[in-house]
Amino acid sequence: MVTHENRSTSTRRTAIRLGGAVAGAGLLAGCLGGGSGGSGSGGSDGAAGSDDAETDGADGSDAAAAGDGSRAAYSVEMAPVGEVTLDAVPEDVMVYSLLYADMAVAFGHGDAVDSLGFDADAGGNTLDAYYAALDGVEFDREGIRQLNSGSGGGITVDRELLYELDADLHLADPCLFVSFDGWDEGDVAEIRDNVGPWFGNVYSRRNSEPPEPCRDDYEHYTLWEIAERVADVFQEPERYEALASVHDDLVETVQADLPPEGERPTVATLLYMDGTYYPSRLDGPGFATAHVRPFGVPDAFGAADVTYETAYDHERLLEIDPDVILHQYGVESYYDVAAIREELADHPVAGELSAIRDDRFYPSGNPVQGPIMNLFQIEMTAKQLFPERFGEWPTYELGDGYPAIPEAERLFDRDRVAAIVAGDQP
């Protein structure tokens, strides 16, 4: 058996790993991923049902001679790890959260992804639902390993699996791993030193607080700020700029045709399981609601003290009575929203909800969204909230994929996005 001490590594991976460690400074900058200049943190997030996003930061792309001078090194930077120097674009990347798989695909490196935190089919089905509308874009999940082996709500990732994957880069937030059962700062430092550096940020999902060892220097970013930094990892700034332009055009399109604020519906985002609603705020920061925030709608839970522990019964939700209910993880994911809607319609209390009576209980997006997901989820939300302005949201049932939208009613150009992913943008 190969031990951690005598485990061999390629010259290329050694250069990537050492480059990530050289710049280390501070309590956790060195431990978590190798960093300088505002690094050093740790945390948790990324399972199906929580969120965070916002900040400014450097994206570093210095080129320097590496090793014998035959290769040009470059640096990337993002909290919590700070600055990481790579000698080559990573070709084998460990991914935990779905947004980073979507980013890898968006920037033309989806084939580098070797893992996901949870069931690859569940995450892959969600990506497939969107990618099916983009000619030539796909996520090949054959051979993708599932990192979490926990049960009963606990998250367990075996360190030996990370040695086995032997990734060039761990495109994941090391602070998330610090929060897992059996992990601490020393464990993430061990993986960095013996396998490869870390680079990721997930507590920007709802700008939540990371685990205690990470709190001093943690920073929050928007979805597109994270995407820009990941594009730098793959040395794909042109693809990023092109996709960001599509996003900006889309947001401009929907915001130019919104009704006055006083005429917008109250909206609730939630999960429903076994007779209980689990609400979440949509008016706060974080990339979890990056597909809803552009519409400036009133948050039905805005007056409530909503936390991750908040749970409502039917009677309490009826007291709030949102005009529109958006059920998270609703597109080819964990929940059959059509079946939930039927269940609620047959309930003597839930059946009185305005969103049920008016047929405005919708499958909504995945809060752990990357840039391509975000484009489709903004379009979807526009049609669900304002069908009279952006076209009706088609009937959707689990297994149908993202509905076919008539070309005249599409809010962004599918061909343009597919060309960007393929590297064919002008």
Give me the DSSP letters along 270-324: EEEETTEEEEE-SSSSSGGGTTTGGG-PPBTTTTS---TT--B-HHHHHHH--SE
Looking at the predicted structure, is the pLDDT value of residue 13 above 50?
Answer: no
What pLDDT, in 10s, does the model give residues 278-304? Answer: 999 998 899 999 999 999 999 999 988
> Which residue is it, tokens 């790890």?
81
The segment with the largest mean pLDDT, out of 3-17, 33-47, 297-311, is 297-311
- Judging by DSSP bridges, how do beta strands 82-86 and 71-78 pair with one another? antiparallel
What pLDDT, in 10s, does the model give residues 336-382? Answer: 999 999 999 999 999 999 999 999 999 999 999 999 999 999 999 99
- Please state, as a whole number, how many other Cβ atoms lie within 10 Å of the Cβ of residue 82: 33
Looking at the predicted structure, is the pLDDT value of residue 4 above 80?
Answer: no
What pLDDT, in 10s, does the model give residues 186-200? Answer: 999 999 999 999 999
Confidence of residue 307 (pLDDT cuts 50, 70, 90): confident
What Å distances lie between residue 133 and 40, 329, 394, CA to CA? Answer: 40, 19, 15
8 A C-beta contact, residue 324 and residue 264: no
Cα angle 384-358-347, degrees, rounded to a multiple of 5? 115
Please name the residues in contact with 413: beta carbons below 8 A apart, sequence gap of 6 or more. 246
What local confidence, expressed as pLDDT, does residue 7 receive?
35
What local confidence, expressed as pLDDT, does residue 145 receive?
96
| CA dist., res. 330 & res. 20, Å (int) | 38
- Judging by DSSP bridges, how do beta strands 169-171 and 93-95 pair with one another? parallel
Supply the DSSP symbol for 223.
H
Chain mean pLDDT for the chain: 86
Cα Dmax for the chain? 74
Looking at the predicted structure, is the pLDDT value of residue 49 above 50?
Answer: no
Confidence of residue 64 (pLDDT cuts 50, 70, 90): very low
What local confidence, expressed as pLDDT, does residue 122 receive?
85
8 A C-beta contact, residue 226 and residue 99: yes
* Backbone torsions φ then ψ of 140, nearest 5 degrees: -85, 105
Hey, what amino acid is at 426? Answer: P
Q: Is the pTM of this model over 0.75?
A: yes
- Judging by DSSP bridges, how do beta strands 64-66 and 71-78 pair with one another? antiparallel
- Judging by DSSP bridges, how do beta strands 276-280 and 145-146 pair with one another? unpaired
Confidence of residue 153 (pLDDT cuts 50, 70, 90): confident
